Structure 1
Amino acid sequence: MDLTSTKDKWIPKIKSFFSRLNWKNIFIFFGFFILAFIFWLMLFFRRDIEATYKIPLKYTNIPDDVVFDASLPNDIEIRVADKGAEIFRYTFTLNDSVEIDVAKYKAERINNLQGTELMQLIRAKLSQSTNLKAYYPINISLATSRLQKKELKVVFDGVISTSRSNLVADSATFLPATVMAYGAQSRLSEISSAVTEYTLFNNLKATSQLKVKIMPVNGVKFVPEEVEIYIPVLEYTERKFEVPVTARNLPGNIDVKFFPSQTEVSFSVTLEEYKKIAPEDFEVELDYKKFFKNENGRVDLELSKSPPAIRNVKLSPSSIEFLLESK
């Protein structure tokens, strides 16, 4: 059965069903329902209601060189009583944090936030008509201990990969390059660097400056906890040269022949450096003293001279045969 025939079959039935409904009674029912809901709201808003809420706590102006002796609570639970209208309003307004200015209380030599000080912070969130019946915790310890500090170099832990035609042009650097670590002297003596969290930077297509977090260490606080990594990325192209294989430190009565006598050097280079590089910039010069005793008559190849700007160097073949002859 196609869509058109289905529609032609069911639309008349749907119209017939709705035409038989007593819409007058339905509208009257919903009218009374809405009126009943309004009266219920009016009664609720005028009644005395008790409710419990959790208010988030936010600690500000914490000195870098201290650590709290006890764990700080993330929120405070309060029980309040007021008219329903005010209780209903708190459902939406008590989501904002209570801010605790640690430096302010330290200046006033208050190490335990309780009683009047704590109640004032809570009351600032409430209406004057509201009765604060209870709150928990009843005190918040702000006691701290001073820490030793140590400047540490940032070290990257992760993988950096680029798109196919790009390469990382130089070492990644950090902004800032060092962070300050705070902790007990015994704990600081165990760490020599600030290692980042293991991070993957994939398919980079241009020079990038990205945020990366410092890996947390128990008992140590890093300032800052997040740094930026600068990754220089340039577009590269591939180039190849044929380079002859030569030998040095040959005795006067010995000659050496290589098979083949040259190797293909392939490498990646930036577009800017592409035209500056010539075959003369490469040498494959083998040290006779290192290979003449090779029993298999083969020697591995390596570049003895190459431009510093090239990347991903490959030699083909990477090893060749040699034959020693007397002159």
Structure 2
Amino acid sequence: MFDRKNIKRYYLIFVRQIRNFLLSTKSREFLIFLFFVFVSLCFWFLQTMNDTYQTEFKIPVRLKNVPKEVVMTSELPKEIRVKVEDRGTVLLNYMLGRTFFPLTFDFEDYQEKGSYVRIPQEEVLKKITTQLNNSTQLLSVYPDTLDFIYSKGVAKKVPVAVGGEVSAGRQYYVSEIRVIPDSVVVYAPQGVLNTVLTAYTQPFHWTNVTDTLRKHLNLQKLHGVKFVPSSVDVMACVDMYSEKTFDVPVVGISFPQGKVLRTFPSKVQVTCQVGLKNFKSVKASDFLVGVSYADVLDNKSEKLTLTLRRYPDAATHIRINPLSVDYLIEQQTVEKVVKKEEVAE
């Protein structure tokens, strides 16, 4: 281990070596060379900075004295971009030593102009040029016009609609799409407020969803309109498909009195896909497979093609087997018809 004496000795040796190096002939020549290089760079920099350049600056924008009862539905931009031209030394002063003050506008100066206020470009340019040197040339301002829209407490509640698409993965289906909250408060001037009927989320496209998915989305912006809240949660609920088969009787529809449709077979198999959530609730009685009397009259084949007349919303990809059946029209006697009516009574 090093003690204090050794540390001091090594330090003195190191300092002596550095001093000898700096005092040597080669070292002095190198330092003189570096000095002249530095002086040349300074002259070159000063000469370069005297040339004319263009650059862009950002200046903050502020609106003061806004009353508490006023709701800003379209605010001023937070900053504007200013493109100027001047000598490099002046532009360097802007960048390093000088900070632009915010462009401040007083709300009270524009109350008489209504709920839609447009600040004249001349007023914006005047506030900018007061902060520039006389030699600085103002080339462009973006945005070149400033405006804001406000509402004095006029509001209403509108529903939120989904502005995108959700597609489920294989063997899954989208059972429900929820929006939380399902409605928002909208503020706007009266003329604009009457035209806003629905708030839409930002567009989205979710694919191959196999589990409940929840995301936070902003609402689509409308000029002069403010939504509170400005964002919502969108939840896509998915369920798995399961196949189910029923024996459903074939029914004749709109047959005249005394005529009865007989089909062979009298029942057909109806196969469908049902989500697990609704698997138990879907029954055979929810389906109606039938043939109308008009279809029988128009039929020129030996078999009747069956039609699915009714089915539950929860059932999809429905198939009928067989799709066509043999048939005959049975003519009943008046006595049978009367007996059936009596039994029905």
Query: What is the TM-score normalised by the length of structure 1?
Result: 0.57
In 2, Cα distance between the equivalents of 1:34 and 1:235? 76
2:82 pairs with 1:76 = yes
Q: 1:235-268: CA deviations, max 9, x gaps?
A: 4032121322253887885443334421222113
After the TM superposition, which residues 167-206 of structure 1 pair with which residues of structure 2 at under 5 Å, given as runs? Answer: 167-173=173-179, 175=181, 177-178=183-184, 180=186, 182=188, 185=191, 189=194, 192-196=197-201, 198-206=203-211
2:293 pairs with 1:292 = yes
Amino acid paired to 2:57: I
User: How far apart are 1:325 and its partner, in Å?
Assistant: 1.6
> Greater CA radius of gyration, 1 or 2?
2
Change (3 A) 1:216 1:142: closer
Amino acid paired to 1:204: V
In 2, Cα distance between the equivalents of 1:80 and 1:32? 36
2:66 pairs with 1:64 = no
Aligned to 1:237: 241
- CA RMSD in angstroms comes to 5.1
**Contact 2:60 2:78 (C-alpha < 8 Å) held by counterparts:** no
In 2, Cα distance between the equivalents of 1:81 and 1:97? 18
Change (3 A) 1:167 1:287: closer
User: Across the two proteins, how many residue pairs are aligned to each other?
Assistant: 272
User: How far apart are 1:229 and its partner, in Å?
Assistant: 5.2
**Contact 1:73 1:140 (C-alpha < 8 Å) held by counterparts:** no
In 2, Cα distance between the equivalents of 1:241 and 1:81? 85
**Contact 1:199 1:212 (C-alpha < 8 Å) held by counterparts:** no
SS in 2 for 1:164: coil
**Contact 1:166 1:233 (C-alpha < 8 Å) held by counterparts:** no
2:328 pairs with 1:323 = yes
Change (3 A) 1:133 1:284: same
Q: 1:196-229: CA deviations, max 9, x gaps?
A: 5654222223322335565566x65453696445
**Contact 1:162 1:202 (C-alpha < 8 Å) held by counterparts:** yes
In 2, Cα distance between the equivalents of 1:33 and 1:263? 100
SS in 2 for 1:293: helix
In 1, Cα distance between the equivalents of 2:61 and 2:182? 25
In 2, Cα distance between the equivalents of 1:33 and 1:108? 64
**Contact 2:60 2:79 (C-alpha < 8 Å) held by counterparts:** no
Aligned to 2:343: none
SS in 1 for 2:95: helix
**Contact 1:152 1:181 (C-alpha < 8 Å) held by counterparts:** no
2:161 pairs with 1:155 = yes
In 1, Cα distance between the equivalents of 2:135 and 2:322? 83
Aligned to 1:301: 308
**Contact 1:181 1:223 (C-alpha < 8 Å) held by counterparts:** yes
Q: 1:10-36: CA deviations, max 9, x gaps?
A: xxxxxxxxxxxxxxxxxxxx9999877
User: Can you give the 5+ residue segments of structure 2 that lack an aligned partner in the other structure?
Assistant: 1-29, 112-118, 333-345
In 2, Cα distance between the equivalents of 1:177 and 1:97? 43
Query: What is the TM-score normalised by the length of structure 2?
Result: 0.55
Which of 254, 262, 265 pairs up with 1:257?
A: 262
Aligned to 2:170: 164
In 1, Cα distance between the equivalents of 2:36 and 2:263? 103
2:136 pairs with 1:134 = yes
Change (3 A) 1:36 1:51: farther
**Contact 2:217 2:234 (C-alpha < 8 Å) held by counterparts:** no
In 1, Cα distance between the equivalents of 2:329 and 2:33? 108
Between the aligned residues of both structures, percent identity stands at 10
Change (3 A) 1:216 1:89: closer
Q: 1:65-106: CA deviations, max 9, x gaps?
A: 4677xx99841234566859x929938x99x9976566xx32
Aligned to 1:19: none
In 1, Cα distance between the equivalents of 2:100 and 2:278? 57
Aligned to 2:55: 53
In 2, Cα distance between the equivalents of 1:97 and 1:315? 73
In 2, Cα distance between the equivalents of 1:228 and 1:140? 34
